[in-house]
């Protein structure tokens, strides 16, 4: 019975926590927040580390650093506990050190322009402009 109680207490400590992560954009940028279903070209996963079972962050990388570094104009930031986080936490949780994963996904300004060019209406306008230019060149 004592072994069951000890296992229950250990499992409770490893699976519980109080986490926080900074999800901010650089102050001098105009960043659009993406929905869950929007497509993205960029994805970066960052492991966040905490002590006291998530109460105190050890490292504090913010989404603003990644957004600025990769010049993202559209962003989706999520936090999750992946299988690897649980596996690492099973060993480091004894010392109250636990990880969590922050996922930053987004698009750059260049990819936004490419997406606009694949719009059928934009493509039709480009074909019309090209035809008009060709017609005016043929007349000269």
Q: What is the mean pLDDT of the chain?
A: 78
Instruction: Say if CB 46 and CB 61 are below 8 A apart.
Output: yes
Q: Is the pLDDT assigned to residue 29 strictly greater than 50?
A: yes
Number of domain units in the chain: 1
Domain that holds residue 21: 2-135
Residues 6+ apart with CB under 8 A from 78: 102, 103, 105
Output the pLDDT for position 83: 92
Task: Decide if 23 is inside a domain.
Answer: yes
Q: Which residues pair with 50 in a beta bridge?
A: 57, 98
Give the span between the Cα atoms of 136 and 65, in whole angstroms: 50
| 54 domain residue, yes or no | yes
Does residue 133 contact residue 62 with C-beta atoms inside 8 Å?
A: no
Residue written as token pair 């050190």 = 97
Tell me if 55 is assigned to some domain. yes
pLDDT tens digits along 66-75: 888 888 889 9
- Decide if pLDDT at 105 tops 80: yes
Cα(112)–Cα(110) distance, rounded to whole angstroms? 5
Looking at the domain assignment, is residue 52 inside a domain?
yes
Q: Report yes or no on 119 lying in a domain.
A: yes
With respect to residue 140, please indicate whether it lies within any of the assigned structural domains. no
Residue 110 is predicted with a pLDDT of 53
Q: What is the DSSP string of 33-75?
A: EP-TT---SEEEEEEEEEETTTTEES----HHHHHHHTTEEEE
| pLDDT computed for residue 113 by the predictor | 46
| Residue 17 domain-assigned (yes or no) | yes
């Amino acid at each position: 019975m004592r072994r069951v109680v000890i296992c229950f207490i250990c499992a409770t400590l490893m699976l519980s926590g109080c986490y926080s992560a900074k999800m901010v954009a650089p102050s001098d940028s105009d960043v659009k927040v993406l929905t869950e279903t929007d497509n993205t070209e960029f994805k970066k996963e960052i492991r966040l580390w905490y002590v006291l079972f998530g109460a105190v962050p050890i490292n504090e990388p913010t989404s603003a650093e990644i957004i600025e570094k990769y010049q993202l104009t559209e962003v989706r930031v999520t936090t999750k506990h992946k299988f690897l986080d649980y596996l690492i936490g099973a060993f480091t949780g004894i010392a109250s050190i636990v990880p969590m994963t922050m996922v930053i996904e987004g698009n750059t300004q260049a990819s936004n322009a490419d997406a606009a060019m694949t719009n059928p209406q934009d493509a039709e306008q480009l074909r019309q402009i090209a035809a008009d230019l060709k017609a005016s060149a043929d007349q000269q």
